[in-house]
Amino acid sequence: MFNSVSHAHLAQPTTLPDFDRPSGLPAFNSVEEAIAAYDGDDAIHVLYPQVIAAAAETFLSGFPGKVLYAVKANPHPAVLRILWSAGLRHFDVASIREIDLVQSVAPDADLFLMHPIKSRKTIAHAYAQGVRHMALDCQAELAKILDETQSADDLNLHIRLAVPSDGAAMPLAGKFGAEFNEAVDLLRTARPFAVKLGVCFHVGSQCMDTEAYARALGYVRQLADAAGVSIDSVDCGGGFPVAYPGMVPPAMGDYFATIREALAENGFADLEILGEPGRALCAEGGSTLTRVELRKGSDLYLNDGSYGSLFDAAQCSWKFPVRCVSRPTSEDQGIQAFRMFGPTCDSLDVMEGPFTLPADIDEGDWIEVQHLGAYGQALATDFNGFQSESTVAVMNRV
Ligand SMILES: *Cc1c(COP(=O)(O)O)cnc(C)c1O
């Protein structure tokens, strides 16, 4: 599924002579041009290379440490190529396939296996492939790592801490992470086996509160003091937000400033600092073009949905920004609130919205659902025979 890039249904772009570099995708000036060139029947995934590169630049120049891209947010090879060519060199991977994928696209990438619970095969494969950074949150996982690497003496171990998800729209607490006393024990046990020992945490995805990072760093201070062992690195995880309708976060610079201050206050300024943004690097740089197959009153039946790239729109009722590509959306012409249904026969395949679109929208119209570059395109399945097989680069975003 990772490498399923196919351009089968895309005529060679006529307006641009070339494929986009570096993404390697067919390039169009606008989504209108991409739709005009398309003779397939499915939704189309759009990437905006310049938007992704700009997000990378924001992190590379502003985040006070190493920037790791959390590959699960969007593992499309084009996304990896865009980030690499923007200067990003570190990748947070979780599985054998993610390791192989990143190494096939960027052989010199520095990989961090930050999943706290890995299969033995994954650990062995990662180590054989040169991965020297691994996360863990319990003694049993430490034993697995030492077994599968023959107690290697060049491991960087990152102890994953449980921290609250209070400020996050997508809480991640409750699955991974050592509690205080466990973490103290684990830091002490792991210390002799690590060339570098660090801690990592995740404050929850789409974290709307800059202070969540400061609180987590204060907690790391208490923990390091209680353990009485030296730590070499602090990984602030992901969680950096983007703006969705009804969810407008503080500026990214405020997150970086808060983290920078908290690092200094807690005496971590000289340690190696890491961050693992996923959503913030690629959400705004991707969207889905979906076609209306039928209208029933204020319900639109589309060729993409919960089992495509609209999982969060359906299951979490997120209101992604939408615009009708094929008709003007303006108050003068009339607008209306719609509910949207995906193409599968499952009744969970519904996006309640409401989504504001032109009142006269109808069969054959195309809708661009924006900000799906993270956890949208990446979650799409081929359930019921519906899937998007076409990804294009669009150079100008509306
Ligand atoms: C998912 C994940 C990330 C990325 O989180 P975002 O909220 O997308 O920034 C980073 N680190 C780990 C360990 C993750 O599981």
| 365: number of Cβ within 10 Å | 18
Q: Whose Cα sits closest to atom 3 in ligand 1?
A: 238
Q: What tens digit of pLDDT does each residue of 52-81 get?
A: 999 999 999 999 999 999 999 999 999 999
pLDDT at 330 > cutoff 50: yes
- The closest-lying atom of ligand 1 relative to the alpha carbon of residue 239 is 7
Q: Whose Cα sits closest to atom 5 in ligand 1?
A: 238
| Burial class of 254 by CB neighbour count within 10 A (0 to 12, 13 to 18, 19+) | exposed
Is 10 inside any structural domain? no
Q: How far apart are CA 196 and CA 198, in angstroms?
A: 7
pLDDT score for 11 = 54
**End-to-end distance of the chain based on CA atoms, in angstroms?**
29
- The closest-lying atom of ligand 1 relative to the alpha carbon of residue 205 is 7
Is 4 inside any structural domain? no
pLDDT score for 14 = 47
CATH number of domain containing 338? 2.40.37.10
Q: Whose Cα sits closest to atom 13 in ligand 1?
A: 114
Pair 77, 99: CB distance under 8 Å: no
Is 2 inside any structural domain? no
Q: Are residues 273 and 244 in the same domain?
A: yes
Q: Are residues 112 and 177 in the same domain?
A: yes
Q: Are residues 314 and 175 in the same domain?
A: no
CA-closest candidate to residue 324, choices 12, 31, 102: 31
pLDDT bucket at 398, cuts 50 / 70 / 90: confident
Q: Which residue type is seen at 76?
A: H
391 strand-pairing partners = 45
pLDDT score for 169 = 86
Q: Which residue has the higher pLDDT, 107 or 331?
A: 107
Q: Are residues 114 and 242 in the same domain?
A: yes
Number of domains in the chain: 2
Is 141 inside any structural domain? yes
Ligand 1 centroid to 337 CA: how many Å?
33
Q: Are residues 35 and 129 in the same domain?
A: no
Give the mutation target among 66, 72, 91, 375 for probing the ligand 1 site: most ligand atoms within 8 A of CB. Answer: 72
pLDDT at 173 > cutoff 70: yes
Q: Are residues 163 and 271 in the same domain?
A: yes
Ligand 1 centroid to 70 CA: how many Å?
6
pLDDT bucket at 259, cuts 50 / 70 / 90: very high
Pair 116, 141: CB distance under 8 Å: yes
Is 11 inside any structural domain? no
Pair 28, 45: CB distance under 8 Å: no
- The closest-lying atom of ligand 1 relative to the alpha carbon of residue 115 is 13
Give the mutation target among 79, 83, 92 for probing the ligand 1 site: most ligand atoms within 8 A of CB. Answer: 92
Q: Are residues 308 and 278 in the same domain?
A: no
Q: Which residue type is seen at 93?
A: V
Ligand 1 centroid to 21 CA: how many Å?
27
- The closest-lying atom of ligand 1 relative to the alpha carbon of residue 280 is 9
Q: How far apart are CA 301 and CA 321, in angstroms?
A: 17
Is 190 inside any structural domain? yes
Give the mutation target among 115, 205, 213, 281 for probing the ligand 1 site: most ligand atoms within 8 A of CB. Answer: 205
pLDDT at 16 > cutoff 50: no
pLDDT score for 175 = 87
Q: How far apart are CA 299 and CA 280, in angstroms?
A: 31
pLDDT at 6 > cutoff 60: no
Q: Are residues 275 and 324 in the same domain?
A: no
- In this structure, is the dihedral angle defined by the CA atoms of residues 34, 35, 37 and 43, taken in order, positive or negative? positive
Tokens (6 digits) for 308: 């495509």
Measure Cα distances from 256 to 65, 236, 355, 380 in Å: 10, 11, 33, 32
pLDDT at 3 > cutoff 70: no
Q: What is the mean pLDDT of residues 2-13?
A: 45
pLDDT at 13 > cutoff 90: no
Q: What is the mean pLDDT of residues 11-33?
A: 75
pLDDT bucket at 120, cuts 50 / 70 / 90: very high
Q: How far apart are CA 136 and CA 182, in angstroms?
A: 12
pLDDT score for 5 = 42
Ligand 1 centroid to 167 CA: how many Å?
15
Question: Which distant-in-sequence residues (6+ apart) come within 8 Å of 339 by Cβ?
Answer: 298, 299, 300, 350, 351, 352, 353, 354, 355
Strands (E), the chain: 27-28, 44-47, 66-70, 90-93, 110-113, 133-136, 156-160, 168-170, 196-200, 205-207, 233-235, 272-275, 286-296, 299-302, 322-324, 335-341, 350-358, 366-369, 390-394
Q: Are residues 292 and 277 in the same domain?
A: no
Tokens (6 digits) for 225: 């003091």
Q: What is the mean pLDDT of residues 185-212?
A: 97
Domain of residue 389 covers 19-49+286-394
Q: Are residues 132 and 64 in the same domain?
A: yes
Tokens (6 digits) for 151: 């107690």
CATH number of domain containing 256? 3.20.20.10
Q: What tens digit of pLDDT does each residue of 333-374 get?
A: 799 999 999 999 999 999 999 999 999 999 999 999 999 999
Of 236, 260, 282, the one marking the end of a domain is 282
Is 226 inside any structural domain? yes
- The closest-lying atom of ligand 1 relative to the alpha carbon of residue 207 is 7
3-state secondary structure of 66: strand
Ligand 1 centroid to 19 CA: how many Å?
31
Is 310 inside any structural domain? yes
Q: Are residues 71 and 174 in the same domain?
A: yes
3-state secondary structure of 91: strand
Of 282, 298, 328, the one marking the end of a domain is 282
pLDDT bucket at 171, cuts 50 / 70 / 90: confident
Of 237, 267, 282, the one marking the end of a domain is 282
Residue % of the chain over a pLDDT of 70: 95
pLDDT at 104 > cutoff 80: yes
Q: How far apart are CA 155 and CA 363, in angstroms?
A: 57
Residue-averaged pLDDT of the chain: 93
Pair 172, 202: CB distance under 8 Å: yes
Q: Are residues 326 and 264 in the same domain?
A: no
Ligand 1 centroid to 277 CA: how many Å?
6
Pair 290, 81: CB distance under 8 Å: no
Ligand 1 pocket, CB under 6 A: 70, 72-73, 92, 114, 202, 205, 237-240, 276-280, 374
- In this structure, is the dihedral angle defined by the CA atoms of residues 303, 307, 308 and 312, taken in order, positive or negative? positive
Helix (H) and strand (E) counts in the chain: 11, 19
Q: Which residue type is seen at 9?
A: H
- pTM of structure: 0.94
Question: Which distant-in-sequence residues (6+ apart) come within 8 Å of 17 by Cβ?
Answer: none
Measure Cα distances from 387 to 45, 50, 193, 304 in Å: 10, 26, 46, 8
